[in-house]
Structure 1
Amino acid sequence: MDDVTAFGALIRQERKAQGLRQDELAAASGVGLRFLVELERGKPTVQFGKALAVLAALGCRVDVVRPGRQPG
């Protein structure tokens, strides 16, 4: 994933795939609706911890791959 816009789009796509409204995901994640809207729009200054909470509520995880290493 190259940028925050793609990150936000991924979250929006997964939310819709799970049939959730923004307010439902915000509540399940413990974040405000405004935060989620900004996250999905790719705002570059959102709080990382809250973004991780949204991913966790969707059942997603983040994998960090160090340079020179293969994912997995």
Structure 2
Amino acid sequence: MIHMATASDSVALGQLIRAERKRQQLTQEQLADVAGVGIRFVRELESGKASCRVGLALTVLQTLGLIVSITSRGASS
């Protein structure tokens, strides 16, 4: 089953990441280790801190099995 969620800012993205990490029963430390990023980065990402490290954020999303889809605000369904 595919679940779709929308994140329009860094706080919403962090909440989605935290929810998926917890659903997978991973600690922040475990996620950081598996994704190859620092624990501080995971904490800041989940808290919604604006970051220019998009590549690392995408690595964390990929590690959790999440897919990012970009849609134009003007796109019709």
Query: Does TM, normalized by the shorter one, top 0.5?
Result: yes
Equivalent pairs, count: 71
Which structure 2 residue ranges, 5 or more long, are not aligned? Answer: 1-6
Aligned equivalent of 1:5:
11
- The answer for the alignment partner of 1:23 in structure 2 is 29
Distance 1:9 1:30, change over 3 A: same
Matched, 1:38 2:38: no
The percentage of aligned residue pairs carrying the same residue is: 46
Match for residue 65 of structure 1 among 43, 67, 71 = 71
Partner SS state of residue 36, structure 1: helix
Distance 1:59 1:70 in 2: 27
TM-score (norm 1): 0.89
| Distance change >3 Å, CA 70–CA 38, structure 1 → 2 | same
The residue type equivalent to 1:16 in the other structure is: K
Do the aligned residues in 2 keep the contact of 1:38 with 1:46 (CA within 8 Å)? no
Q: What RMSD over aligned residues (CA atoms) do the two structures have, in Å?
A: 1.4
TM-score normalised to structure 2 length: 0.84
**Shift of residue 3, structure 1, vs aligned partner:** 1.4
